[in-house]
Amino acid sequence: MYAKNLTSYETIEIHTFREIFYVGTCKKPDINIFDDKSKNLIVCENDHIAYRYQIKKVLGVGSFSQVYEAYDWKNRMNVAIKIIRNKEKYKKQSVKEIEFLKFIKDKSSNLPFAEMLTSFEFRDHICIVFKIIGPPIGSQVGESLDVQKYAIDILVCLQFLHNHKIVHCDLKPSNVLLSYKKIASLIDLGTATYVNEQVYKYVQSRNYRAPEVILRIRYNEKIDMWSLGCLLFEVAKGKLLFEGKNEAEILMQVCRKIGEPPKRWKKFCEKFLNEAKPAIGCELIDEIVDLHPVLKEVILGCVQWNPKRRISSNEALNLFKSNA
Q: Catalytic residues, which ones?
A: 170
* Contacts of 123 by beta carbon, 8 Å cutoff, 6+ apart: 34, 41
In angstroms, rounded to a whole number, what is the distance separating the alpha carbons of residues 187 and 177?
A: 7
Q: What does each C-alpha distance from 231 to 18, 101, 225, 263 come to in angstroms?
A: 45, 23, 10, 27
In angstroms, rounded to a whole number, what is the distance separating the alpha carbons of residues 287 and 285?
A: 6
- DSSP, collapsed to helix, strand or coil, labels residue 55 as strand
As to burial, measured by CB atoms within 10 angstroms (0-12 exposed, 13-18 middle, 19+ buried), residue 5 is: middle
In angstroms, rounded to a whole number, what is the distance separating the alpha carbons of residues 232 and 179?
A: 18
In angstroms, rounded to a whole number, what is the distance separating the alpha carbons of residues 211 and 49?
A: 41
* Contacts of 183 by beta carbon, 8 Å cutoff, 6+ apart: 112, 153
Strands (E), 166-258: 166-167, 176-178, 184-186, 193-194
In angstroms, rounded to a whole number, what is the distance separating the alpha carbons of residues 84 and 90?
A: 7
- DSSP, collapsed to helix, strand or coil, labels residue 10 as helix
Element (H, E) at 49: strand 48-49
Strands (E), 53-203: 53-61, 65-72, 77-84, 116-122, 125-131, 166-167, 176-178, 184-186, 193-194
Handedness of CA 198, 202, 205, 206 (dihedral sign): positive
